[in-house]
Amino acid sequence: MAKSAEARWHLGHWVLLFSLPTPSLCGSMAAWWTDLGPSLVLQNASTGLLTYSFCNSNGTPIYPQDPPIALRTTYAPKKGTSLAATGWYDQIGSTWASVFYQNNNDDIVNAVYKCDNRTGLYDQQESNVISDRRGTPSPHTDSGISVTLLGEQEGYRVFYHDRSKALQSLQFKSTDGWSYGSPVSSNTNRSSMEIHSQFSGVRNVTVVTPRDARNMETARLNVDSTYFIDTFPTPLKGGLNNTSASNRTSFPYDTSATPSFELEAWDGNPKAIGIAIDTDTTRHIFYIGTDRAVHWIAAFVSASVEGGFRAQASQNTDVWPLADEPNSDFTIASHIESSSIRLYYVSGGRIIETKYRDGNWDRAAPVESANRTIIADEGAGAGDAGLTTGAKTGIGVGVSVGVLLIGAAAAAFWILRKKKSTPPDEEATTAADNTAATVPPMSETGSQGASSPTAGVARTTSGLSADKWDAEVKDKPLTPPPRELESPNLASELPHTNDRNELPTKHHVTELP
């Protein structure tokens, strides 16, 4: 019976992958940054599957579409769930991902994955419901989710909404495991429940959420482990205990204050919100507005004093193309040590990437669906120890659509021939064996022969082509950057974790005061 169940899962998985629609039907998104660069995970709005970029992508995510590759999940994600993810690249060359979502019971689930560097596919290591810990307020049915990885001692913080829409936190420490963290904001008057968080040191965590049709709310961690609550552009009324320690369910505005700016094309109902922090501890906040355009707000730091949030100049559409939908979903990955920011969203039927680095915005480009340059790992055995650092970071494996389709047809023909002579239990096992390889693996030695499915890589032609993008943006001038950042620091490599629950050591995580 177990074999039959496994076979049914793989057969269903195969069918769903080949029936996945174009990126225009993408649901929620999440992105994170490791030493290899950004990674992506997206929920397909039609099937509910969590699809992802190859985990050995280097520098920029490679997100296959024909078909996509999907994470194996013990607890099925509910359709429309919020997504959050983080990860690290350890000292022996393994990439790890930690993904958070709601299941169909509205529990918050954490699934941990380890990358197979030879295939670019994630192997599930464990999956747990984490919102059932003692004293944890039950999550809202439409809760937002955000995660921040703070280091070995402080662990994870996961932010979510409870059933009253108050903002809560869960925490993971290597010594204690998962537990309820603390209230973050007891405010229950919210126009929507998107969340994003970032930190520039253990005691400098910021959580941002929409507040209403004119304002956003931030919660910033204090040294006493409470969160200071603020809003902008309209500030809160002074003299109140605007912290997570307060029992208030509403924090009134200071109506006597005149806002210094307005949130352009903001109605309080974005499908996503994002925050990044740079080496100067400047906080950058992004959203896609009702006009389908990206909008940018920042609070710069001068002489160790942060100014208030201010709207930043918009960029040309070759840098920030219009999203396909108003208030569009998007995701953000950032790297504090290099002051790098990447935004990902759907424009022109394609998932696009726009980059901020060294104080400049680059022209946007579609996220590639296959790697144009594949570096074969021909000398390594089954383990990672035989890979050099260059090989580990250079691997990028794509999937040939033609090979997959031919393989699928051949598999179907072979199964039909064997069906009459194979007993039921063996038939189920055979089906599982043939459909499990949605992306066929490389050989045991890791080498790529002529028959390897990655030997010839086909790029998807659905949606807006890369050639069309090149034609549209070729000679357009870029808007001058509003501010030049200092030269980026070298990226810090996160260390090997001996156990899948261990977090990167604090000695390799840059923490600003």
pLDDT digits (tens, 9 = 90+) for 76-121: 999 999 999 999 988 888 999 999 999 999 999 999 999 999 999 9
pLDDT score, position 511: 38
CB 327 within 8 A of CB 288: yes
Beta strand ranges found along 95-176 (DSSP E): 95-102, 108-116, 121-129, 145-149, 156-161, 167-173
453: part of which helix (H) or strand (E)?
none
pLDDT score, position 241: 75
Region for 363 from its dihedrals, namely left if φ exceeds 0, alpha if ψ lies in -120 to 50, beta otherwise? beta
Which tokens go with 20?
A: 């996945």
pLDDT score, position 460: 32
CB 109 within 8 A of CB 170: no
Q: Which residues contact 481 (CB under 8 A, 6 or more apart)?
A: 359, 360, 361
Kindly give the interhelix angle for 2-18 and 424-435, rounded to the nearest 10 degrees: 40
Is 0.75 topped by the overall pTM?
A: no
pLDDT score, position 421: 44
pLDDT score, position 371: 64
The parts of the chain modelled with pLDDT lower than 50 are 1-24, 373-513
3-state secondary structure 454-501: CCCCCCCCCCCCHHHHHHHHCCCCCCCCCCCCCCCCCCCCCCCCCCCC
Q: What is the DSSP string of 240-265?
A: S--BTTS--S---B-TTSPPS---TT
pLDDT score, position 190: 95
Q: What is the sign, positive or negative, of the torsion defined by CA atoms of 374, 379, 382, 387? A: negative
pLDDT score, position 305: 79
Q: Which residues contact 372 (CB under 8 A, 6 or more apart)?
A: 457
pLDDT score, position 380: 31
pLDDT score, position 26: 61
